[in-house]
A and B are shown apart, each in its own frame.
Chain A
Amino acid sequence: FFSCRISSFRSRPSFLSSDLLKFKPSVMSNQQQQQQQPSATQRLQPKKQTMEDAYSPPANFLEIDVCNPETHGLNKDRYTDYEIRLRTNLPVFKLKESSVRRRYSDFEWLRAELERDSKIVVPKLPGKALKLQLPFRGGDGRFDDEFIEERRKGLEEFINKVAGHPLAQNEKCLHMFLQEQTIDKAYVPGKVRTT
């Protein structure tokens, strides 16, 4: 409780205007009050919040679901892809709702682009399942339902973390990944212009 000193306080967001209030036990005379210098620990007067700000839905809504896994193709050329459904009210996204289908390799592509261009530490993807692709393994391997579900969860966690980061939101590759029907791997990498 008392091991921390004033100077080791974490900095608080600016809207929290309050700070230490020192009350003097004795009643101060008017004169004394007027002579007081504003101190570093003075209370700040908050600006009155408008009704709009108070009651509007917060403008940080971003929800991405990775769902509906489907396996396409036959035998050796099979692959699984997932629906990436996005809902948002962030201004940075062009479409407030979008739905695209992506496969694991698309996620790998996105991760590589972001690692190269953006300054964020990109989270890890769920496993590549190399072991499952070995021949003579029993079961469905990488088309096994349980495996697909685990992967789905991992991908969902990944994309939510990434898409929520402002620095990632600046990258064109993210927007292409999330909101365009097909990924053009020959695109010109760059930043999104914010108007």
Chain B
Amino acid sequence: LFWQTRSQDMSGPVTEDQEKLLDEALSVVKLQAFQMKRCLDKAKLMDALKHASNMLGELRTSLLSPKSYYELYMLITDEMRHLELYLLDEFQKGRRVQDLYELVQYAGNIIPRLYLLITVGVVYIKCSEISRKDILKDLVEMCRGVQHPLRGLFLRNYLLQCTKNVLPDCVEEEQEDSGSVSDSIDFVLLNFSEMNKLWVRMQHQGHTRERDRREQERRELKLLVGTNLVRLSQLDTIDVQRYRSVVLPAVLEQVVNCRDALSQDYVMECIIQVFPDEYHLATLQDFLQACAELNPAVPVKNILISLINRLSAFATRDGSNGIPSDIPLFDFFSEQIAKIIENKPDLSPEDLVSLQAALTGLALGVYKDREDYVDKVLETTNSGLDKLGVEHINDHSNLSRELMKLLKLPIDLWNDALVLLRLRHYSPLLQRLDSPTKKSVSAYLLQNMLNNGTLVPSSEQVEQLLDLVRCLVADPGADAAAAAADATATNSLGGDPGDGSANGAGPGSEADNEDLAEEQSLLGRVVHLFSTGPDLLDEQFGVLKTARRILATGGGRRVKYTLPPVVFHSRQDSDDKWRKKCRKIFEFCHSTVCGLAKCELPNLALRLFVDGALVVDKIPFDQHDTRMTCFAAENHEPLRSQTVHAASKLLRKPDQSRAVAACAHLFWSGRPRELQGAEMRDLKKVGECLKRAGRLASQCMDAGLQAQLYTELVNYYLYFVLQSAGQSGSSGAACVRSVWSVSGVV
């Protein structure tokens, strides 16, 4: 009655009715299919065709949603197989039905007509009845008769499925009119462009308020369109040349001209996934050119990243020849990405970063030794972020996440932190992050170094590394204070009172402290990697000095983790060979430990002093080497007294007592040069120590503890008395007397 304007095509399927409608349709189909098969059994072809036509008539509906229509379609096409098989059988037995192709065109409605035509046409092809080329051409053209998007898409899908195995796949025609791969390509390309057209048109059907639902429905149907590309990829005779000159240009023409974001996005991704990587390498410029012409709403970055990742994987896969050297892959993508950034002023920073990350992945995967590529990408990222006016990067933002991913890539793929130090733009990019993320990345780097045993062989590199991870080394602002006091390194530990973090002045939550402990212990372990190798102890010392200087800026809380490794590390090097250096090294340790002591970490200091004493002990002094200065004599004493001093400073009286008593051994078994290898046995000092220990013990509150301490002291005294048996002297007697007095107390 009336001209059908679009809005009247109110095919808005109400979900509650869908089930009912579908069930009704399915039962009609089942009934008609049953009748059809019965007629075929009785060889009554005309009647069977009538039932088939009725069955196919259910596909004429406008009331079903794509999902329901699909279900109906599946059932019907299943049943159509029976008809096809029957006809094939008849034909092969020589019982050709006269003019069947013409006959089915008498069907009254176009949907049944075309479905039947396709079925019969395929039978004809399989039986080599008529020109394969002509039939295929006719079928794909005839499908134009259905312009309704949903029905048209499914009809053409039926065409594609039925002709799956009969498309000619040879370069030259084998027989007259049997067709070559060119004909197949034309067939599929025409089917694809028609289907894309219908698919794009779907969005305009129905009321504007249903737009989102329609878009969702379109997404559900995307596979129907993609199947065309899959079919093309299955034609073996298509080679790179043909792909490049015929297939891809035609597909890209449709993609670019349809101007529909959903279609463009899907089809471009499809192309990447469906065709081999060698083809992509050969057509990179054309493809990238098309990317630049897409609808602005298409997330081109996803497409690019997809492609880059695929090609990276291709190049690095085992057994692949890699990227042909005449394809400057990195440059291509670099340019393309730059173009995209230029054309899209509203590109978000995180998108920018994720693009650069993909490019970095490419550089690291395919061009592993081109550090300059990676540096270039980092430089571009930096300037890109500058241009976008990015100043503060919030910790939990997408941008932060993307940037972190980017920065971790070189760490993971090179496994060599030293290379990172050579990249001029890595640090600036890292420093943009917010503190927690920055620390996380720095820790990641350090962990990587530990996992790979990456040694840092020079002072300069140590400096660079510690500068890179400066967020872990010190709080911002501590640098200035530390730098000023640099010259007199030893006493600058602990920072200024003004630096709140020093000396653990700030409260700091439990979690904070745990985190700090973890970070710093990581840093501490890395110190052990500051190694120049066994023959370069000179350098080694320099390296450690640098390390100490920088780490000292960290303030009290950090130093307790980071400096001990410095000390231990330097001790490890005091090998037999370089005695001259030993003195310096020990001085160095000494001052370091003093610094620690200043930081109110007497526990630690004590341990280190004692440790130091042990090391000194172990070095067999070569008395014949007159050049060697008497390190032991001069420095051991201060070492000893400092130890005692530190011991007495321990927090708890019992600990103090025990520690001082232990120090007695220092005075006993130290072997200074004068005595020529004999033990010092400074009884006086020993006695002093023990007396002091006794005094300390008496100051203990807890009687039981006191008793314990005194018992221990008695043991000490007994030991020394026994040891000193044979040694005369008043001190010996004094010792014995002390023993009795102590035991008396006990």
Judge whether B285 is part of the interface by a CB distance below 8 angstroms.
Answer: no
In the bound complex, residues from chain B placing their C-beta under 8 Å from that of A61 are 5-7, 204
Mark B1-27 against chain A: 1 for CB-CB distance below 8 A, else 0.
111111110000000000000000000
What separation, in Å, do the CA atoms of A106 and B142 have in the docked complex?
Answer: 48
Cβ–Cβ contact A57 & B106, under 8 A: no
Mark B115-147 against chain A: 1 for CB-CB distance below 8 A, else 0.
000000000100001100010001001101101
Residue of B nearest to A87 (CB): B208
Across the interface, B53 reaches (CB within 8 A) one of A1, A6, A27, A55, namely A1
Which of B4, B101, B134 is most buried by chain A, counting CB atoms within 10 A of its CB?
B101
Cβ–Cβ contact A25 & B129, under 8 A: yes
Judge whether B429 is part of the interface by a CB distance below 8 angstroms.
Answer: no
Cβ–Cβ contact B102 & A60, under 8 A: no
Q: Which of B83-112 contact A (CB under 8 A)?
A: 96, 98-99, 101-102, 105-108
Judge whether B200 is part of the interface by a CB distance below 8 angstroms.
Answer: yes
Cβ–Cβ contact A55 & B259, under 8 A: yes
Cβ–Cβ contact A164 & B102, under 8 A: no
Judge whether A20 is part of the interface by a CB distance below 8 angstroms.
Answer: yes
Cβ–Cβ contact B8 & A160, under 8 A: yes
Judge whether B50 is part of the interface by a CB distance below 8 angstroms.
Answer: yes
Cβ–Cβ contact A2 & B3, under 8 A: no
Residue of B nearest to A5 (CB): B106
What separation, in Å, do the CA atoms of A46 and B142 have in the docked complex?
Answer: 10
Mark A2-23 against chain B: 1 for CB-CB distance below 8 A, else 0.
1010100000100111101111
Judge whether B193 is part of the interface by a CB distance below 8 angstroms.
Answer: yes
Cβ–Cβ contact B197 & A16, under 8 A: no
Judge whether B260 is part of the interface by a CB distance below 8 angstroms.
Answer: yes
In the bound complex, residues from chain B placing their C-beta under 8 Å from that of A20 are 102, 105
What separation, in Å, do the CA atoms of A159 and B129 have in the docked complex?
Answer: 56
In the bound complex, residues from chain A placing their C-beta under 8 Å from that of B129 are 23, 25
How far in angstroms is the closest Cβ of chain B from A50?
A: 9
Residue of B nearest to A90 (CB): B5
Judge whether B49 is part of the interface by a CB distance below 8 angstroms.
Answer: yes
Q: Which of B29-85 contact A (CB under 8 A)?
A: 46, 49-50, 53
Across the interface, A4 reaches (CB within 8 A) one of B106, B142, B201, namely B106
Residue of B nearest to A3 (CB): B108
Cβ–Cβ contact A21 & B101, under 8 A: yes
Cβ–Cβ contact A63 & B130, under 8 A: no
Cβ–Cβ contact B260 & A62, under 8 A: no
A interface residue count range (under 10 / 10 to 19 / 20 to 34 / 35 or more): 35 or more
Judge whether B258 is part of the interface by a CB distance below 8 angstroms.
Answer: yes
Count: A-B pairs, CB below 8 Å: 97
Q: Classify the interface of chain A: helix, strand, loop or mixed.
A: loop
| Known contacts A18-B144, A21-B102, A54-B197, A62 near B5 by CB under 8 Å | yes
Cβ–Cβ contact B2 & A165, under 8 A: yes
Cβ–Cβ contact B7 & A51, under 8 A: no
Judge whether A43 is part of the interface by a CB distance below 8 angstroms.
Answer: yes
In the bound complex, residues from chain A placing their C-beta under 8 Å from that of B259 are 55
How far in angstroms is the closest Cβ of chain A from B253?
A: 8
In the bound complex, residues from chain B placing their C-beta under 8 Å from that of A161 are 2, 8
Q: Which of A128-171 contact B (CB under 8 A)?
A: 160-161, 164-166
In the bound complex, residues from chain B placing their C-beta under 8 Å from that of A84 are none
Mark B357-386 against chain A: 1 for CB-CB distance below 8 A, else 0.
000000000000000000000000000000
Cβ–Cβ contact A55 & B257, under 8 A: yes
In the bound complex, residues from chain A placing their C-beta under 8 Å from that of B130 are 23, 25
Cβ–Cβ contact B141 & A22, under 8 A: no
What separation, in Å, do the CA atoms of A23 and B96 have in the docked complex?
Answer: 13
What separation, in Å, do the CA atoms of A44 and B390 have in the docked complex?
Answer: 62
| Known contacts A1-B107, A21-B138, A55 near B102 by CB under 8 Å | no
Judge whether B207 is part of the interface by a CB distance below 8 angstroms.
Answer: yes
Cβ–Cβ contact A63 & B7, under 8 A: yes
How far in angstroms is the closest Cβ of chain A from B320?
A: 38
Cβ–Cβ contact A55 & B258, under 8 A: yes
Judge whether A38 is part of the interface by a CB distance below 8 angstroms.
Answer: no
How far in angstroms is the closest Cβ of chain B from A16?
A: 5
What separation, in Å, do the CA atoms of A55 and B201 have in the docked complex?
Answer: 7
Residue of B nearest to A59 (CB): B6
In the bound complex, residues from chain B placing their C-beta under 8 Å from that of A51 are 253, 257-258
Cβ–Cβ contact A164 & B5, under 8 A: yes
Cβ–Cβ contact A43 & B138, under 8 A: yes
Cβ–Cβ contact B3 & A166, under 8 A: yes
Cβ–Cβ contact B5 & A2, under 8 A: no
Cβ–Cβ contact A4 & B108, under 8 A: yes
Cβ–Cβ contact B144 & A54, under 8 A: no
Q: Which of B508-550 contact A (CB under 8 A)?
A: none
Residue of B nearest to A53 (CB): B197
Across the interface, B260 reaches (CB within 8 A) one of A17, A55, A58, namely A55
In the bound complex, residues from chain A placing their C-beta under 8 Å from that of B201 are 58
In the bound complex, residues from chain B placing their C-beta under 8 Å from that of A90 are 5
In the bound complex, residues from chain A placing their C-beta under 8 Å from that of B6 are 58, 60-63
Cβ–Cβ contact B145 & A18, under 8 A: yes
Mark B253-287 against chain A: 1 for CB-CB distance below 8 A, else 0.
10001111000000000000000000000000000
Across the interface, A46 reaches (CB within 8 A) one of B2, B4, B144, B258, namely B144
How far in angstroms is the closest Cβ of chain B from A121?
A: 8
What separation, in Å, do the CA atoms of A46 and B107 have in the docked complex?
Answer: 22
Cβ–Cβ contact A16 & B144, under 8 A: yes
Cβ–Cβ contact B3 & A164, under 8 A: yes
Across the interface, A63 reaches (CB within 8 A) one of B50, B124, B208, namely B208
In the bound complex, residues from chain A placing their C-beta under 8 Å from that of B145 are 12, 16, 18
In the bound complex, residues from chain A placing their C-beta under 8 Å from that of B96 are 25
In the bound complex, residues from chain B placing their C-beta under 8 Å from that of A166 are 3
In the bound complex, residues from chain B placing their C-beta under 8 Å from that of A55 are 197, 200, 257-260
Q: Which of A60-116 contact B (CB under 8 A)?
A: 60-64, 87, 90
Cβ–Cβ contact B99 & A22, under 8 A: yes
Which of A2, A55, A61, A87 is most buried by chain B, counting CB atoms within 10 A of its CB?
A55
How far in angstroms is the closest Cβ of chain B from A83?
A: 15
Residue of B nearest to A167 (CB): B3
In the bound complex, residues from chain A placing their C-beta under 8 Å from that of B134 are 23
In the bound complex, residues from chain A placing their C-beta under 8 Å from that of B253 are 51
Cβ–Cβ contact B102 & A22, under 8 A: yes
Cβ–Cβ contact A18 & B208, under 8 A: no
Across the interface, B46 reaches (CB within 8 A) one of A1, A25, A62, namely A1
What separation, in Å, do the CA atoms of A3 and B398 have in the docked complex?
Answer: 68
In the bound complex, residues from chain B placing their C-beta under 8 Å from that of A16 are 144-145
What separation, in Å, do the CA atoms of A15 and B143 have in the docked complex?
Answer: 12
Residue of A nearest to B47 (CB): A1
What separation, in Å, do the CA atoms of A112 and B106 have in the docked complex?
Answer: 46
How far in angstroms is the closest Cβ of chain A from B133?
A: 13
How far in angstroms is the closest Cβ of chain B from A178?
A: 14
In the bound complex, residues from chain A placing their C-beta under 8 Å from that of B1 are 121
How far in angstroms is the closest Cβ of chain A from B91?
A: 11
Mark B171-200 against chain A: 1 for CB-CB distance below 8 A, else 0.
000001000000000000000010001001
Which of A1, A22, A23, A55 is most buried by chain B, counting CB atoms within 10 A of its CB?
A1
Cβ–Cβ contact A164 & B108, under 8 A: no
In the bound complex, residues from chain A placing their C-beta under 8 Å from that of B50 are 1-2
Cβ–Cβ contact A62 & B144, under 8 A: no
In the bound complex, residues from chain A placing their C-beta under 8 Å from that of B49 are 1
How far in angstroms is the closest Cβ of chain B from A29?
A: 12
In the bound complex, residues from chain A placing their C-beta under 8 Å from that of B144 are 15-18, 46
Cβ–Cβ contact B141 & A1, under 8 A: no
What separation, in Å, do the CA atoms of A64 and B207 have in the docked complex?
Answer: 9
* 18 A-B pairs with C-beta separation under 8 A: A2-B106, A6-B106, A15-B144, A16-B145, A18-B138, A23-B129, A25-B98, A27-B176, A46-B141, A55-B200, A55-B257, A57-B204, A58-B201, A60-B6, A62-B7, A63-B7, A164-B4, A164-B7
- In the complex, the 5 A-B pairs of residues with the closest C-beta atoms, listed nearest first: A164-B5, A51-B257, A1-B50, A63-B7, A62-B5
Known A2-B46, A87-B208, A161-B8; 6 more pairs at CB < 8 Å: A21-B101, A23-B134, A46-B141, A51-B253, A62-B6, A90-B5
CB within 8 Å of A: which residues of B?
1-8, 46, 49-50, 53, 96, 98-99, 101-102, 105-108, 124, 129-130, 134, 138, 141-142, 144-145, 147, 176, 193, 197, 200-201, 204, 207-208, 253, 257-260
